[in-house]
Chain A
């Protein structure tokens, strides 16, 4: 039968950490590929509606966002609790959308201008009135490709 060794005389070998950087780099690359940069700081709270027939937006450079929702706590005293529009990093009115879209489009390379998509990120509690106004403004600006942002429904019926 074996004999017990005297454990006190035996030192634990140090675990080699040489491969630690590799592991971390692997994680890093995973996150770099699977995530995307934040577009803006949200000034409005948006809980997207749920849907099942979703398509993903392909090219980031062709997409411009319009956010609609109630202002976050910080801005409530100034802007109230009605649904507001946010373009880039600032609150905006419906009348500004047309100019914004035209300006953004003319900044794009000419070959991409027809492919511009406007993604509407709208809170699900919003009323259609403001959405209709935005849609009309987009039509006037000839930004006809739109995308109603939504999240996949968890318990789909299929």
Chain B
């Protein structure tokens, strides 16, 4: 009984390419390239039904009112304004460099890395819209307001550490956030007349 060494036949691999192609095409068809991105916001908690809607006492100088009407026009601090100027105006308001009595009051806050600094910590940007406002305008305005905060934070990070806000570590980011707290309030919906 002589055992011959038999050669194991090689598996034909010419079809692996086809199998891989099949898989590839499957993934091409069922998936989408688009990454989900958007403006992250936080809604205020609901008002309890039995609570009377009493207006919070916020000094008038601390509130930056942005109104959008149903024709997508902007009224900022009782002035008609083009959207291109909104960001600069909002930045001026948040920083209040000259301690203007019509701008938000500053108070001393102790923040890590910065020590005692004057911050407009009570300011509020109030955004109100009509039911007829278009969504794209609303997002545009939201975007400008968020951009105002982001630019301020970036500037601060650059002057203090020489890097952009995103490159800072978490504790430094928190300090910067404390310096410029983002306060955009979306008011309770009201119907300002006009068509519903």
| Contact-size category for B | 35 or more
| Residue of B42, B45, B139 most packed against chain A (CB within 10 A) | B139
Residues of B within 8 Å of A21, CB to CB, are: 13, 16-17, 19-20
Does A152 interact with chain B (Cβ within 8 Å)?
yes
Does A113 interact with chain B (Cβ within 8 Å)?
no
Q: What DSSP secondary structure best describes chain B's contact surface?
A: mixed
Residues of B within 8 Å of A149, CB to CB, are: 36-38
Does B140 interact with chain A (Cβ within 8 Å)?
yes
Proximity string of chain B (33-60) to chain A, C-beta cutoff 8 Å, 1 when within and 0 when not: 1111111111111100000000000000
Residues of chain A from 114 to 153 with CB closer than 8 A to chain B in the complex: 117, 119-120, 122-129, 131-132, 135-136, 138-140, 142-152
Does B30 interact with chain A (Cβ within 8 Å)?
yes
Does A82 interact with chain B (Cβ within 8 Å)?
no
| Contact-size category for A | 35 or more
Does A4 interact with chain B (Cβ within 8 Å)?
no
Given A35-B31, A57-B36 in contact, is the A51-B139 Cβ separation under 8 Å?
Answer: yes
Does A27 interact with chain B (Cβ within 8 Å)?
yes
CB distance from A87 to the nearest CB of B (A): 17
A28 nearest in chain B by CB position: B24
Extra contacts, 4 of them, besides A135-B43, A150-B39 (Cβ < 8 A), are: A127-B132, A128-B134, A128-B138, A151-B34
Which B positions have Cβ atoms within 8 angstroms of A?
13-14, 16-17, 19-21, 23-24, 27-28, 30-46, 129-136, 138-140, 142-143, 146-147, 150, 186, 189, 196
- The list of the 5 closest CB pairs from A to B, nearest first, reads A129-B131, A35-B31, A124-B136, A24-B20, A21-B16
